[in-house]
Chain A
Amino acid sequence: MNTSNTRQANAPSFRIITLVLNEHQCNKFVRITKSDDFYGGIIMLGRGTVKSEILNLLGIKSEKKEIVSILADEKKAAELLDFYTKELELDKPGHGIAFTTEALVANRTIKEGLSGWGEAPAIGGESMYRKLTVVVNRGMAEDVMDIARKSGVTGGTILHGRGAGSDYAAKFLGMEIEPEKELVIILLPSEIVEKVANDIYTELKLDNPGTGILFVEPVLDVRGLKKPGK
């Protein structure tokens, strides 16, 4: 396995597109989405703020939102974002928001033994951190954490949602049946990110289609984390 910290020319780059939509718009998202466009993703339920004074007076301070995160190729990302903006009319107020962030490494990088772990520019001499996100089937999040702990990670955060636009969404009476997924977020020092990601990838057999996706994002600074090994 290549442990070099520099990004190689042949390493693919990835983008995470995140959309915050209301329920209706999210249904539309699922309808118009072709799963071939990206590697996979997750839809999670959340709450958005309500600005209306009248509603606040009635105690309605938040409304239901769905947060969609999908992992796509760098080359495809801009095209996808434009596509969703047009189809979901995101440029109109109240129709939802979307943004793209960068991911250094995803399933494929590991699978093909490529290196894309990125440089680790240190700030103030401290070791740099990475954000590792793993999306797995419901009930597997604990397994992810167990593997991560063995590799030196101290903790993580688990959220849950359902698979987005995967091939695995079946239809029943015109309604999508999407598999339940769990999302694990782990912040970890860049020295161990490759080992942890590789361990999770091999032990959970993420190379089998439909098992899960994994990606690593750059993080600029962290606070409040326990120093590993201390």
Chain B
Amino acid sequence: MNELTEKLKEVLASVLPITFIVLVLNFTIAPLETDMLVAFLVGSLLVIIGLTAFLFGIDQGLEPIGHGVGTAITHSNSFALLITVSLVLGFFISYAEPDLHILAKQVSSVTSGQFNNILMVVVVSVGLAVMMTLGMLRILRDVRLKYVFTAAYGLIFILSLFSSPDFLAIAFDASGATTGAITVPFMLALAAGVSAMKKDSKMSEADSFGLVGISSTGAILGVLIAGLFIGNGKLTGKLPETEIVATNLLQSYLLKLGTIAKDAIITLLPIIITYFLFQIFSFKQKLSKVLDITRGIVITYLGLVIFLLGVNGGFMDVGAQLGIRLAAMESKIPVLVVALLLGLTTVLAEPAVHVLTYQVEDVTGGSVKRGLVFLFMSVAVGTSIFMSALRILVPGIKLWMYLLPGFGLSVLLAFFVPDLFVGMGFDAGGVASGPMTATFSLAFVQGIAEQIPTADVVADGFGMIAIVAMTPIIALELLGAIYQAKLRKASKTAAQKELSTGGSHEHE
């Protein structure tokens, strides 16, 4: 049972901090209604169970599929096949993402139907598919990540000059919405599968990352380019009211179960279909292996449904309530401190972040420690939620004041740190904005916006994801710089020590 208890311990360590903070707040400055508190505790339990199952499922199902598809495409040695598969797969995994459809509906209503929701989903998916294909070609053609990101973000910058700030925020949110809990692990495995075939091991390692980051830019570019044609003035419409909160606990969970169960199936569908096509034409695995993978998919599915149920049923309302309660207080310090703490802790419970940290360890043979990646991501997301809260409280701060220097710095740093950390960083940007952030933290920030008269719920609600996607890039690139410096220094001191002891490893 070792493996199970180990994983459970790890998940507990990821979920308990956020639970603890909410409980402390409840008993001190922001008491919650009993119903809500109970729902939250039940939610935490569901999140723990769901996340544990999900992580096991990814290992057994999604990871082998992604890796296998990546290897098979590369083996085929056919660019036509690579391009076709990436385009089709990229389009459908994005199209199947429920978060994207929710965002598209919101956008449709705030643009008074000008930016139709189906149009939005299609341009985002096409953008993602195109960039994902370029990302795959890049691995095989040895184009360094820093050039790809410089080009992509350069283009985004130019396009953003022709777009309204609100529209830019929507574009970034779209990229966060497409990179969900299922897409990210699959893309990570796919990239690892393709790059594992490369001869140069150092390049192969660095190339295992970056695909998620590149694909994310596709979503942004898609929205911005579409915006050029249909006009992108100031947002005028109103956000659709969120559904009415159910009267009792059981109801609030049951109501959500149906939608979540359906959405999760749709998200998994493109990957399941891909697997069966590859199984028939390429893998031809034994029945026992197929059963293993099928079981993996089922466990992933159950885990995801339980996890999302916990987050949506128990966390979202608490997030909004905390935002409202704390923002209503005289002093603005508590709300800012809590924003930081919530950011620090929610990212730990983000499923795709776990998958990313495991891949980092695998790819580097354990050299880059999971704990360090978690730590840096945690600080990054903590900072970003803090920045989001600050932006709402201080009307003078505009979104571009964060994004322009932030992404500028991310691209600049890419030229100074090892490629591995560049890819990891940009992937982490896409990974950090998962279901936990998109529900709990977003609800918290929107809760604050509701209390602040100068805030605009629509404009301030959008854009938080963009900040969450930005800070991890910088954080992990900094980790890369530290990493490089530490190793260099260590090898220098070791060499000196070596010299002073006569150059030999003599034993006493």
Interface residues of A (CB under 8 A from B): 22-24, 36, 39, 43-45, 50, 52, 54-55, 58-61, 63-64, 66, 73, 75-76, 94, 108, 111, 138-139, 141-142, 158, 160-162, 166-173, 175-182, 207-210
Taking a contact as CB atoms under 8 Å apart, the answer to whether A59 and B365 are in contact is no
**Chain B residues numbered 182-222 whose CB sits less than 8 Å from any CB in chain A:** 199-202, 205
Taking a contact as CB atoms under 8 Å apart, the answer to whether A158 and B365 are in contact is no
The 6 closest A-B pairs by CB, nearest first: A167-B494, A209-B498, A139-B202, A170-B486, A162-B367, A170-B490
Contacts known (A52-B1, A138-B201, A209-B503); A175 close to B372, Cβ less than 8 A: yes
Can you name the residue of chain B whose Cβ is closest to the Cβ of A61?
A: B292
- Fill in one digit per residue for B357-395: 1 if any A CB lies within 8 Å of its CB, else 0: 000011011110101100100000000000000000000
Contacts known (A59-B292, A76-B507, A139-B201); A162 close to B365, Cβ less than 8 A: yes
> When the two chains form the complex, which single residue of B296, B366, B483, B494 contacts A168, counting CB atoms closer than 8 Å?
B494
Bound Cα distance from A162 to B367, whole angstroms? 5
Q: List 8 A-B contacts (CB under 8 A).
A: A50-B2, A52-B1, A60-B3, A75-B507, A108-B505, A162-B367, A167-B497, A172-B483
Taking a contact as CB atoms under 8 Å apart, the answer to whether B295 and A158 are in contact is no
> When the two chains form the complex, which single residue of A75, A94, A158 contacts B201, counting CB atoms closer than 8 Å?
A158
Bound Cα distance from A99 to B6, whole angstroms? 25
How far in angstroms is the closest Cβ of chain B from A28?
A: 14
> When the two chains form the complex, which single residue of B6, B295, B494 contacts A209, counting CB atoms closer than 8 Å?
B494
Taking a contact as CB atoms under 8 Å apart, the answer to whether B489 and A170 are in contact is yes
Taking a contact as CB atoms under 8 Å apart, the answer to whether B3 and A63 are in contact is yes
Taking a contact as CB atoms under 8 Å apart, the answer to whether B201 and A160 are in contact is yes
- B29 is an interface residue with CB less than 8 A from chain A: no
Taking a contact as CB atoms under 8 Å apart, the answer to whether B487 and A179 are in contact is yes
**Chain B residues numbered 37-70 whose CB sits less than 8 Å from any CB in chain A:** 56, 60
Point out the residues of chain B lying under 8 angstroms from A169, CB to CB: 490
How far in angstroms is the closest Cβ of chain B from A77?
A: 11
- B504 is an interface residue with CB less than 8 A from chain A: yes
Point out the residues of chain A lying under 8 angstroms from B201, CB to CB: 138-139, 141-142, 158, 160, 182
Taking a contact as CB atoms under 8 Å apart, the answer to whether B1 and A168 are in contact is no
Can you name the residue of chain B whose Cβ is closest to the Cβ of A106?
A: B505
Bound Cα distance from A175 to B373, whole angstroms? 11
Contacts known (A60-B3, A63-B2, A167-B493); A162 close to B364, Cβ less than 8 A: yes
Bound Cα distance from A172 to B202, whole angstroms? 23
Which of B295, B366, B369, B482 counts the most chain A CB atoms within 10 A? B366
How far in angstroms is the closest Cβ of chain A from B240?
A: 41
- B491 is an interface residue with CB less than 8 A from chain A: yes
How far in angstroms is the closest Cβ of chain A from B238?
A: 47
Can you name the residue of chain B whose Cβ is closest to the Cβ of A213?
A: B505
Can you name the residue of chain B whose Cβ is closest to the Cβ of A178?
A: B367
> When the two chains form the complex, which single residue of B292, B365, B487, B495 contacts A160, counting CB atoms closer than 8 Å?
B365
How far in angstroms is the closest Cβ of chain A from B313?
A: 25
- B245 is an interface residue with CB less than 8 A from chain A: no
Point out the residues of chain A lying under 8 angstroms from B199, CB to CB: 142
**Chain B residues numbered 109-160 whose CB sits less than 8 Å from any CB in chain A:** none
Bound Cα distance from A61 to B293, whole angstroms? 12
Taking a contact as CB atoms under 8 Å apart, the answer to whether A172 and B491 are in contact is no
Taking a contact as CB atoms under 8 Å apart, the answer to whether A45 and B366 are in contact is yes
- B4 is an interface residue with CB less than 8 A from chain A: yes
Bound Cα distance from A173 to B378, whole angstroms? 14
Point out the residues of chain B lying under 8 angstroms from A24, CB to CB: 6
Besides A177-B372, A181-B365, 8 other A-B contacts (C-beta < 8 A)? A36-B507, A60-B4, A60-B60, A138-B201, A162-B366, A167-B494, A172-B483, A172-B486
Taking a contact as CB atoms under 8 Å apart, the answer to whether A139 and B371 are in contact is no
- B299 is an interface residue with CB less than 8 A from chain A: yes
Bound Cα distance from A75 to B507, whole angstroms? 10
